Amino acid sequence: MKITIAGAGAMGSRFGLMLHNAGHEVVLVDGWKDHVEAIQKEGLKANFNGEEVIVKLPALLQSEVTETATSDLIILFTKAMQLEKMLNDLKPVIHEKTKVLCLLNGIGHEEVIEKFVPKENIFIGNTMWTAGMEGPGRVKLFGSGTVALKNLVDTEEAKKGALEIVEVLNSAGLNANYSENILYAIYKKACVNGSMNGLCTILLSNMYEFGSTTDAHMIVENIVKEFAEVAKFENIEINVSEIVEYIESNCYNCKTIGLHYPSMYQDLNKNNRLTEIDYINGAVVRKGEKYGIPTPYCAFLTALVHCKEQILGAK
């Protein structure tokens, strides 16, 4: 299948590399000039589960995309604040039949994608794979993960499209599943990011260190409660104690994922970049205002992260 990876940072590079290795025709599209040029000159370099690999892949600057780069499937992997610009730059390659899959963290991205893509071609989901950017043209890819996805509109044709995407991802070992209850899955992951990412960023900790504190349980429970309250208004039922237990049993393992510094920590504290807080906790605050629900924990955390972005002069 011809696949465009739109946003070829850490995660886009992972998916691009694995899909290319499985024989698909992959093109990387990205807005970071040094990164694109490094891939064009020397290939995409990756530490792939401890092995150094170099993969020769076509890479294009998003501002230089033309109709010739048309593909069957576009996988969106920008940061949330880069999504609209990417879709705008991709206009020449978004056709009547182009399927567009969104795997970004955060909630509500379909509202942006709908401005550029017919609803029946939009597929939403999330992923438990991880990846890290080491510099232009270079990524670190460790461990394993899963993908859950579904068609945005409920037609037989759209479901068939979703199942085809699942098959393509699985041909590359990406462990994809069709998820009937995808909005629940997206909210569940947003609860993980909504409680781990901002807090670890402010506290300069990894997930294990934060989880070892005496107040971690209380804070996480209050954040998840706010996500659950707004989700109710969207007919998504979140069992707070179940999700808190999921976060505690999955994120705090001191030998594995607990040692992970969330992507937000890396964006702000390591790379002086703006964060996705407005699309995670900030999105809950906006929904809370709309539905008349107080969201003090999410609001405070969002404000703290914004303060830190400003103090550090993040871009």
Chain residues binding ligand NAD by CB under 6 A are 7, 9-12, 30-32, 35, 77-80, 82, 104-105, 127, 130-131, 133, 263, 271, 276
Q: Which residues of 3-39 are buried (b: 16+ CB within 10 A; e: fewer)?
A: bbbbbbbbbbbbbbbbbbebebebbbbbbbeebbebb
The least CB distance from residue 159 to ligand AOT, in Å, is 26
94 binds, among ligand AOT, ligand NAD, none (CB under 5 to 8 A by kind): none
Does 128 engage in binding with ligand AOT (CB under 6 A)?
yes
Does 263 engage in binding with ligand AOT (CB under 6 A)?
yes
The least CB distance from residue 260 to ligand AOT, in Å, is 6
Of 13, 62, 130, 179, the residue at the interface with ligand AOT (CB under 6 A) is: 130
The least CB distance from residue 131 to ligand AOT, in Å, is 10
125 binds, among ligand NAD, ligand AOT, none (CB under 5 to 8 A by kind): none
Indicate if 189 belongs to the active site: yes
Specify the residue, 192 or 284, whose C-beta has the smaller distance to ligand AOT.
192
Question: Which residue among the candidates 79, 150, 188, 189 is catalytic per the annotation?
Answer: 189
| Structure tokens given for 106 | 């955060």
Does 257 engage in binding with ligand AOT (CB under 6 A)?
yes
4 binds, among ligand AOT, ligand NAD, none (CB under 5 to 8 A by kind): none
From residue 162 to residue 201, the character string flagging contacts with ligand AOT as x (rule: CB under 6 A) and all else as - is ------------------------------xx---x----
The least CB distance from residue 172 to ligand NAD, in Å, is 16
Residue type, 235: N
Does 117 engage in binding with ligand AOT (CB under 6 A)?
no
By CB under 6 A, name the binding residues for ligand AOT. Answer: 105, 128, 130, 192-193, 197, 251, 257, 262-263
Residues designated catalytic: 189
